[in-house]
Structure 1
Amino acid sequence: MNVEVVAVGTELLLGQIVDTNSSWIGEQLALVGLDSFFQTKVGDNLDRLVDTLRRALDRSDAVIVCGGLGPTQDDLTREALGVLVEEPLDEDDTMVERIIEMFGSRGRRMPMNNLNQARKPASAEFIPVMPGTAPGLVLPTQHGVVYAVPGVPWEMKEMLTGFVLGDLSRRSGDPAAIASRTLRTWGESESGLSEMLAPRMAELDEVGNPTLAFLASGFEGLKVRITAKAADAAAATEIVDEEADHLRALLGPLVFGRDGDNMESAVLAALEARGHTLAVAESLTGGLLGSRLASVPGASAVFRGGVIAYHPEVKQQLLGVPDGPVVTEEAALAMARGARSSLGADVGLATTGVAGPEELEGQRAGTVCLAAVWPGGEASTTLGLPGGRQQIREFSCISVLDLLRRRMLVDDDAEA
């Protein structure tokens, strides 16, 4: 069975509200082994909504319609379902009583237009789970089944988990589970990564399970998503975990974490495992690196703090950077040494460079010098980063963390 998600609301098309419901529903469908090939957004227009539902039923076995079940004139999902099956909407007396009782139990006056929510096509049934005043609907059709649920996220989630997902699994008659694992990488382009994994992807294409996909995530790196389908969750998880191990061996140090990891959490975890503490000195990143590190739960076990040395005099007076140009690897190394020493840390990181848009010291915007200092070693590099000021600053943060990860942590592992 494949299930399409239709999100209803003009505000979604205008960007006034971000459609998080569809992504959450897609995730839940995967967890119970149901395929979802299409997700659609449509505005509050009856003709377009009916047309969207017809198209969805032409290509999918089931449709989950999210939104448009409120009491106001622009809530058109009930009317669209009636048009779809050519049935008038009738008011259900039992649901009228339930809505009145719900308002009364909350000590609130019920506007009369809320009774619109008790109307439905004759062949539809109300979803038994009803956390709010908007009842959901199940509508069997000749081409498939339609579930209508509210757009309010917590109401929608209770209906999905309390009824819809189970009903879909029962109708599918083929219980299965889908599991995904994501490897986080940094240091290679999407085309380069694809080239590296082309032979493995060709092998997987022959068997069809698991599958691989690339997800570009800007300054968070590239993600390699592994997806597998099996008879149950344990079997699907075993498949994706085995493939993740295989890909880690192929990609080596390009992989810095998996699933919810980011570069800062991966580096902090590796430092904590080695008993090391960390300090940072920042120029062009202006505290962004420290902020990203501090956002990781438990960061205080490793991260001692940072120095924002934006002006050259601050670099010289607080961090011991020698007089002269500050967009150099020598200045970055001095900053890293100074942060490490002044904050009593085992490891020091530093960023300096030109965020732009103007040049500085004859260097163009995007020229960034990064440095890492650790017990027994030092490393520095100069990069030419793309984009505007914010993008350059973000890329600088993940790049200096990756510099430390690759040089110090990989060297430590080699020695071990």
Structure 2
Amino acid sequence: MRCDLLAVGTELLLGQIVDSNSAWIGEQLAAVGIGSHLHIQVGDNVGRIVAELRHLLSDADAVIICGGLGPTHDDLTREAVAEVMGGVPLVLDDSVAATIAELFRSRGREMPENNLRQAMVPSGATVIPQTRGTAPGLICPATIDGVDKVMYLVPGVPDEMQEMIGRAVLPDLVARSGDAATIVSRTLKTWGESESGLNARLDDIVTRLDGDPSVTLAFLARGWNGLEIRLTTRTSSPSAGAALLAPLEAEIRERLGTIVFGADSDSMESVVLDALRSRGWTIGLAESLTAGMVSARLAGISGASDVLRGGIVSYASDVKFDLLGVTPGPVVSEPVALEMAEGARRVLGADVGVALTGVAGPLPQPGEPGVAVGTVCLAVVSPDGSRATTLRLGQNAGREQVRQFSVINALDLVRRHLTGV
């Protein structure tokens, strides 16, 4: 079965918003074995939306339309879909209207009249109830050149869209495909190797799988969250799929060693928290150039409060000297990072102290002679000892890139220290 995508919104064409939704949807379709050949963006214009839908449906079995379901005058997806369905009327769905009104009441607000536009449903469509916002999704049948097709309308707000795709759209697509096979995936998370480097290290495995259609291997770049290796198979059951992938996962883990830090829903921060929790240790941070970014990533994991003591944003040098007890002088060096980590440990009453200090740029830091932009010093101090390292991320790296790579490398340093790597 083939399902293509149509992203609606003039803001996408103007570059005001990056269309990350289509990439996410495409990945989900691939994971359940649904093919997708075209991803198209179109502006807020009924005629152009209709033309693109008819073009896509001339070949695809289904189309997911993302966006254009809001309450304002330029949200025109419903009207365009009604036209493709054969010019059917839009009908007010009383249950949807009541749900929207109740949502406003629960927030102590009065519903604007134009929100009723979101309760207008093309005749013959099935509503996908909304659980997070005001725009419901829709499943809309259409007959194109005598062939039955289907369109799925979902909001453009990412968390609303993702929940609706997982809950309603993917199960409906799989059911329509008539394929009873189960798609099983296993994703390995890595840090510390390039995509080409991973490919080279796994080249013989990749070549072997090219001749085995039962299992696919894909590399997925996640920026400063690392690289993922996704293994996917189609089998009769989840247990059969897991049994098929397990030996391949073990082979890849043995080949790559410690650059594999987790799998599936793991993140570097969740792995670090689990490692600390297994020791019964707490963590405190002193951050200079990252100004709390590491602490924020740790705190973003539910349950972090039993491990995370807190963080000190020691951006100014005198904060490092007066609060953390750093020896006065230049502040970008491994000895200073170790002093900062020990200071964080002491001030915050933590078992483990972590510190980051460096020059994010774009200009060199005054008082740091010979220290190039992109130089970052990291340190961790624990009851087991201490370690420090220096990153040289390059003078041409952008400020945000330097800061983000400092975060993930600091977390990885803690992971390796705690696991004895």
- The equivalences for 1:375-414 within 5 A come to 375-386=383-394, 387-411=397-421
Counterpart-to-counterpart distance in 2, 1:75 and 1:211: 39
Counterpart-to-counterpart distance in 2, 1:23 and 1:233: 25
Number of residue-to-residue matches in the alignment = 398
Deviations along 1:342-394, one digit per CA (max 9) or x if unpaired, are 33322211111112222231211111111112223221111112423232222
TM-score scaled by structure 2? Answer: 0.78
Of 355, 371, 376, the match for 1:368: 376
Query: Do 1:69 and 1:117's aligned partners in 2 also have CA atoms closer than 8 Å?
Result: no
Q: In structure 2, do the counterparts of structure 1 residues 144 and 231 end up closer, same or farther at CA, with 3 Å as the change threshold?
A: farther
Of 149, 155, 163, the match for 1:146: 149
Q: In structure 2, do the counterparts of structure 1 residues 28 and 388 end up closer, same or farther at CA, with 3 Å as the change threshold?
A: closer
Deviations along 1:294-325, one digit per CA (max 9) or x if unpaired, are 22221122222233322333322332322332
Counterpart-to-counterpart distance in 2, 1:67 and 1:323: 55
Counterpart-to-counterpart distance in 2, 1:155 and 1:258: 24
Tell me the C-alpha RMSD between the 2 structures.
3.8
Cα distance, 1:171 vs. partner? 4.3
Tell me if 1:137 matches 2:136.
no
Moved more, 4-13 or 188-197: 4-13
Counterpart-to-counterpart distance in 2, 1:408 and 1:135: 49
Partner of residue 13, structure 1 = 13
Cα distance, 1:68 vs. partner? 6.0
Of 254, 257, 282, the match for 2:262: 257
Q: In structure 2, do the counterparts of structure 1 residues 156 and 372 end up closer, same or farther at CA, with 3 Å as the change threshold?
A: closer
TM-score scaled by structure 1? Answer: 0.79
**SS of residue matched to 2:211:** helix
Which amino acid letter does the alignment assign opposite residue 177 of structure 1? Answer: T
Moved more, 352-361 or 137-146: 137-146
Which amino acid letter does the alignment assign opposite residue 333 of structure 2? Answer: T
Partner of residue 414, structure 1 = none
**SS of residue matched to 1:207:** coil
Q: In structure 2, do the counterparts of structure 1 residues 70 and 146 end up closer, same or farther at CA, with 3 Å as the change threshold?
A: farther
Gaps of 5+ in 1: 412-416
Q: In structure 2, do the counterparts of structure 1 residues 186 and 58 end up closer, same or farther at CA, with 3 Å as the change threshold?
A: same
- The equivalences for 1:6-405 within 5 A come to 6-15=6-15, 22=22, 26=26, 29=29, 33-45=33-45, 48-66=48-66, 75=76, 89=87, 91=89, 99=93, 125-127=124-126, 136-142=139-145, 144-152=147-155, 168-360=173-365, 361-362=368-369, 363-386=371-394, 387-405=397-415
**Percent identity among equivalent residues?**
45
Which amino acid letter does the alignment assign opposite residue 203 of structure 2? Answer: A
Q: In structure 2, do the counterparts of structure 1 residues 65 and 307 end up closer, same or farther at CA, with 3 Å as the change threshold?
A: closer
**SS of residue matched to 1:410:** coil
Counterpart-to-counterpart distance in 2, 1:109 and 1:349: 50
Cα distance, 1:202 vs. partner? 0.8
Q: In structure 2, do the counterparts of structure 1 residues 173 and 390 end up closer, same or farther at CA, with 3 Å as the change threshold?
A: closer
Counterpart-to-counterpart distance in 2, 1:63 and 1:238: 34
Query: Do 1:284 and 1:393's aligned partners in 2 also have CA atoms closer than 8 Å?
Result: yes
Q: In structure 2, do the counterparts of structure 1 residues 229 and 376 end up closer, same or farther at CA, with 3 Å as the change threshold?
A: same
Cα distance, 1:267 vs. partner? 0.8
**SS of residue matched to 2:419:** helix
